[in-house]
Chain A
Amino acid sequence: AQKITQTQPGMFVQEKEAVTLDCTYDTSDQSYGLFWYKQPSSGEMIFLIYQGSYDEQNATEGRYSLNFQKARKSANLVISASQLGDSAMYFCAMGTETSYDKVIFGPGTSLSVIP
């Protein structure tokens, strides 16, 4: 069975500082993809970044980077230079080879950026 764990229910970060949101996952599949989504209070789910299990380099998208440690089954999201608009819920998600149509989500981390 696949599972996503996010151990930080809430995080605070000072504006312009970097923050790391933790995500660990469990799967027996060799091929899988990891995603991070942002959900502002408006409710829409915004895709941020993707990491494939066979990707050797950590994914980066602008201010977002993914710290992928395959042996530890972790895929932490790093947001550099936090902005007030980054305040939102952040979900780590996974799709796997044997259940490739199913994207499952972790419980989420609420990030608050402080001016």
Chain B
Amino acid sequence: DAMVIQNPRYQVTQFGKPVTLSCSQTLNHNVMYWYQQKSSQAPKLLFHYYDKDFNNEADTPDNFQSRRPNTSFCFLDIRSPGLGDAAMYLCATSIRGTNTEAFFGQGTRLTVV
């Protein structure tokens, strides 16, 4: 059974048109992450939540926002997608601490046209 679910798997959006990616989890983990991964690169952390506490990475553009209305759901909003925002977006969850792995969803591949 899938534990971290991302919808949709593939998203095509127009340049400048707001888009929302969603992530849900059945693990009841207190930490949720959003990563951006461009082709042949490592995942880059955009931000994460510990419960409702939002932690933005210093180099995450303002164009990227996130919401976590409850433990199970987390959304990534891209306010005005540019061509450079085309990437795989990975959602992950974990329990706070250094000894637990992050569980990843299957990712959403975003294309900007």
Partner-B contacts on A (CB < 8 A): 31-33, 35, 37, 42-47, 50, 52-53, 91, 93, 95-97, 100-108
Q: Which of A45, A100, A106, A107 contacts B104 (CB 8 A)?
A: A45
Instruction: Give Cα A32 to B103, complex, Å.
Output: 18
* Residue pair B45, A102 in contact (C-beta under 8 Å): yes
Whether a CB of chain A sits under 8 angstroms from the CB of B31 is yes
Range, interface on chain B: 20 to 34
**Alpha-carbon distance A42/B98, docked complex (angstroms):** 28
Inter-chain contact A43/B109, CB cutoff 8 Å: yes
Q: Is the CB of B98 within 8 A of A95?
A: yes
Answer whether residue B24 sits at the interface, using C-beta atoms and an 8 A cutoff.
no
CA of A33 to CA of B102, assembled, Å: 11
A107 CA to B39 CA in the complex, in Å? 11
CB distance from A47 to the nearest CB of B (A): 4
B21 within 8 A of A: no
